[in-house]
Amino acid sequence: MDIIHARCRKIVEDDLEMLMHWRMRPDITYYMNSDPQLTMNDQKRWYGQIQEDGKKSLEDGRKGFYWILEVDDAPAGFVSLVDIDYAARKLHTGVYVAEKAKRSLRLSLDIQWNLYRYSFETLEMNKVCEEVFAENKAVNRLLDVCGSTREGLLRSHVCKNGKYIDVVTRGILKSEWEEKKKGLEYNLIEMEE
């Protein structure tokens, strides 16, 4: 197994401009629901919201976790756990690796398995959900390998540039993760709280 040194750290205000540029890059937004045109004011507003949310505990209804993915001590991407539903004990993941030189199958597997580990073992969720464009075959295959099940298809669910796009709904249950992780070798990624 390749050793990858990665961690997920909290976003700080100095990250906002970098995140803004990443989030508007066509190669990043290609498989996302929107193509935003952001400003630093937008970023500061968003940062204020996630800072307020970050002060809440899970019991107080915290809605998300947002991290900068660092690989070899350098910012490489964005990772999140969002839309936390405490009654159903489920949440959604979000990931992109912006630095092309850091992208690899090994890193992608490690990120996903660490998100599952954190969601099930630290946050005590019962289900982790993902939504992926149907045409994004690489990510759908990756999630198949990681243990996520294709649960449904949302037809013409997103409209981008006048084109309607189908979205695959996916999920992995805690019981499935317990089986999947047996004998699984992956690099642990620190998830800063």
Domain boundaries, the chain: 6-129+175-191
One-letter amino acid at 96 equals Y
Classify residue 121 by its DSSP letter: I
Q: Show pLDDT as tens, one digit a residue, over the chain (193 residues).
A: 788 899 999 999 999 999 999 999 999 999 999 999 999 999 999 999 999 998 898 888 899 999 999 999 999 999 999 999 999 999 999 999 999 999 999 999 999 999 999 999 999 999 999 999 999 999 999 999 999 999 999 999 999 989 999 999 999 999 999 999 998 999 999 999 8
pLDDT of residue 58: 83
- DSSP category for residue 101: G
- Tell me what pLDDT residue 3 has: 85
Separation in Å, CA 36 to CA 20, 21, 32, 43: 9, 10, 10, 11
CA dihedral (123, 174, 169, 137) in degrees, to 10, reads 100
> What CATH class has 6-129+175-191?
alpha beta
